[in-house]
């Protein structure tokens, strides 16, 4: 008889991603730690960035696409006076300009202009697809192209410190410590680029740490080394169970046994609130606090996004 994988039915784990790792690198490492191929991530972090990366193991991978759409929070450092090819410290410097005349008041004015509902142009060296091809591939191939602006929301953009410095090439620069709360799809390095452009000196991101993805915070994250040590000592890693993960991230709807059976068999039940009910995914729980499915309201009825229970227990 085949031994049941100890990771089933799976759950979430919040990783503190190290610098220099791609999100795929972290997933590959976790596959070895969890001893399963079924691992994915919610929302990509650039190699330079550190901090919260939410991983799903086994059946929890079905949650990830919905978690990726939630609000995110960052702290970072913007260097004013230098522009780079990638809008961050990983790209070559394309222009330098003396930033000694930049004032804290000017910086805060630019931050204010970049707060709220925006139309943002992502970096050309990004994963955005242009006519079916990743923009970073077009950039590496030397193509000339434009990326259309996309709607994003920066709900909070704060300046915590502005300090002068001198770059390696002798340019007088300004380093600005910021924190950002934003919608999914917002590029923090594009905010750095646009801040520098607005001040007339150019800018790029030199450090970035993600401190929150939806309800999942850095305080609850573990490093890859900690996860490996836990696996070595306990023969398994501790995961956030599916039901707890869903209840933390989405509005909750509790149903009785009959409704639970109908729902997992594909019935479109009437949702609380009618046609104007909750927007976005809703986590459905049956008797015994059993997590059944993620649904969304479609004309007041529950449309399944992902079902996690094959039958109501």
Catalytic residues, by residue number, are 46
Structure tokens that stand for 73 in this block: 């929070």
Describe the crossing of helices 104-113 and 188-198 by its angle, rounded to 10 degrees.
120
Structure tokens that stand for 76 in this block: 């970072």
**Contact between 54 and 67 (Cβ < 8 Å):** yes
Strands 150-166 and 116-120: antiparallel
**Contact between 48 and 8 (Cβ < 8 Å):** no
**Contact between 61 and 88 (Cβ < 8 Å):** no
Q: How far is the C-alpha of 198 from the C-alpha of 143, rounded, in Å? A: 26
Other Cβ atoms closer than 10 A to 146: 9
Sorted by sequence, the CB contacts under 8 Å of residue 250 that are 6+ apart come out as 66, 280, 281, 282, 283, 294
Structure tokens that stand for 275 in this block: 């046609």
Give me the residue label for tokens 């931050």. Answer: 111
């Amino acid at each position: 008889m085949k031994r049941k994988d100890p990771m089933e039915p799976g759950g979430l784990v919040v990783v503190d991603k190290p610098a220099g790792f791609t999100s795929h690198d972290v997933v590959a490492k976790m596959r070895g730690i969890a001893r399963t191929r079924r691992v994915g991530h919610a929302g990509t972090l650039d190699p330079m960035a550190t901090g919260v990366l939410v991983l799903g193991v086994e059946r929890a991978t079905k949650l990830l696409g919905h978690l990726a759409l939630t609000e995110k929070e960052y702290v970072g450092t913007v260097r004013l006076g230098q522009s780079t090819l990638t809008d961050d410290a990983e790209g070559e410097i394309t222009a330098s300009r003396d930033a000694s005349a930049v004032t804290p008041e000017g910086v805060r004015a630019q931050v204010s202009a970049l707060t709220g509902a925006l139309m943002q142009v992502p970096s050309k060296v990004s994963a955005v697809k242009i006519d079916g091809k990743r923009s970073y591939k077009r950039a590496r191939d030397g193509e000339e192209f434009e990326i259309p602006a996309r709607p994003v929301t920066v709900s909070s953009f704060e300046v915590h410190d502005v300090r002068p410095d001198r770059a390696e090439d002798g340019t007088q620069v300004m380093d600005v410590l910021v924190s950002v709360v934003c919608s999914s799809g917002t590029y923090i390095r594009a905010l750095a680029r646009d801040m520098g452009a607005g001040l007339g000196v150019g800018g790029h991101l030199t450090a970035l740490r993600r401190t929150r993805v939806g309800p999942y915070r850095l305080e609850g994250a573990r490093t890859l080394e900690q996860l490996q040590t836990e696996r070595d000592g306990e023969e398994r890693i501790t995961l956030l169970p599916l039901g707890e993960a869903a209840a933390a991230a989405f509005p909750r709807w509790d149903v009785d046994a009959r409704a639970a059976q109908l729902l997992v068999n594909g019935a479109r039940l009437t949702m609380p609130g009618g046609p104007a009910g909750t927007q976005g995914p809703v986590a459905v729980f049956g008797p015994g606090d059993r997590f059944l499915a993620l649904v969304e309201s479609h004309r007041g009825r529950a449309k399944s996004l992902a079902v996690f229970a094959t039958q109501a227990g």
